[in-house]
Homo-oligomer: A and B are copies of this chain.
């Protein structure tokens, strides 16, 4: 195959003094930070859909970015995308990728034919992954684009659609296993509703849980050892998506006894659409032992839709990496750039520049997060703040031994609380700035 990105050079670390736009300033892949290389810490992945497929179409305009790769027909296109993907990942030092079934091979007239196409392309992918030493962070099935899924997949009010979704997910799990994937993601797609006037929410949720059971059990049967993830999102495309946010998903999983079977794939832009910070969603996942993987992007908090921008806000990446480090780092998960170049950034160079922007911003976040941990003041502040629970009545509360009568007697003996201390929010924000910008 020819070169697909002739204007994109091999990108490497040149430090902060370089003037080269096609270089990393903060991401030094083999530099060791507390016992692991940055590469191991960050586990960057390319999203096949945005990077290889999306052409800049939006609701008000057609594509601006040519992603036809000189192909003559859909299957030729599918094959060329494999080679192009490897080239781009090599040049950008990306070790992982993620994909939907529909990203790698075009759907055919029937499910049976589609599956054959998936078999063919996944053979090629497997071969090329080996040749280029690339790994699959996770796979998934696209159960939302096709008209058949217009009312949902597992939650469709139509049993044929449910069956179709089950079959597609079965195949996508098989492909994931075949390609040695570390994870498999369930993103809700159209699992939600447009109006309660036509919706039986209870039945739909029951079906969704059943679909999750069926498919994840099947994966284990065929040898899948990785993690299953659910990816919360509150709205878009449907008015209400059932996997609204981390807390909602965890509650749903517990209701159906599925909480041991899943971790979460947290996306920054989905967090903010739900009214939460990215850090909040990561924290919820972490303290529920459900921290899994991350869709690394950013939204625009003044816009109400999923903009999927490449992440360039160092506050967000720092707080994200703090949570990741607190969680002990990634196991099967990683940082998948579920991000697309802006519609007006329509060249191959923009692709490279966008990945560089995102990778450097996360590398910077990792560096700062580690400095915050070494510094120790932030963590110490939190420990001190809760220290009243380490002795006396506080310890009895923490150990769940205090009785209600005992607490009342204690409170009455106090008369009033005199031990409240400031939360020092502004100091802590400034402390973070002084570490971030303190050189």
A261 within 8 Å of B (CB atoms): no
Once A63-B147, A147-B63, A425-B345 are accepted as A-B contacts, the answer to whether A247 and B239 lie under 8 Å apart by CB is no
Once A110-B416, A247-B251, A343-B150 are accepted as A-B contacts, the answer to whether A407 and B167 lie under 8 Å apart by CB is yes
**Chain B nearest CB, measured from A150 CB (Å):** 5
Residues of B within 8 A of A148 (CB): 416-417, 420
Once A59-B58, A407-B162 are accepted as A-B contacts, the answer to whether A437 and B313 lie under 8 Å apart by CB is no
Report whether B158 and A419 are in contact in the complex, using a CB–CB cutoff of 8 Å: yes
Report whether A218 and B386 are in contact in the complex, using a CB–CB cutoff of 8 Å: no
Report whether B159 and A394 are in contact in the complex, using a CB–CB cutoff of 8 Å: yes
Residues of B within 8 A of A426 (CB): 309-310, 312, 341-342, 345, 350, 353-354, 357-358
Residues of B within 8 A of A354 (CB): 426-427
In whole angstroms, what is the CA distance A305 to B273 when docked?
A: 12
In whole angstroms, what is the CA distance A341 to B279 when docked?
A: 23
Chain A residues touching B, range: 35 or more
- Please tell me which stretch of A39-47, A86-94, A126-134, A296-304 contacts chain B, meaning at least 4 of its Cβ atoms lie within 8 angstroms of it: A296-304
**Chain B nearest CB, measured from A332 CB (Å):** 22
Minimum CB distance partner of A357 in chain B: B430
Copies in the complex: 4
**Chain B nearest CB, measured from A102 CB (Å):** 11
**Chain B nearest CB, measured from A236 CB (Å):** 7
A79 within 8 Å of B (CB atoms): no
Partner of A197, one of B236, B288, B303, B378: B378
Residues of B within 8 A of A189 (CB): 60
**Binary B-proximity of A168-206 (CB < 8 A = 1, otherwise 0):** 101100000000000000000110001111111111011
Once A250-B251, A354-B426 are accepted as A-B contacts, the answer to whether A312 and B240 lie under 8 Å apart by CB is no
A/B interface sample: 11 pairs, CB < 8 A: A64-B147, A111-B416, A112-B415, A151-B344, A159-B394, A167-B410, A202-B287, A207-B398, A214-B402, A247-B247, A305-B305
In whole angstroms, what is the CA distance A333 to B204 when docked?
A: 27
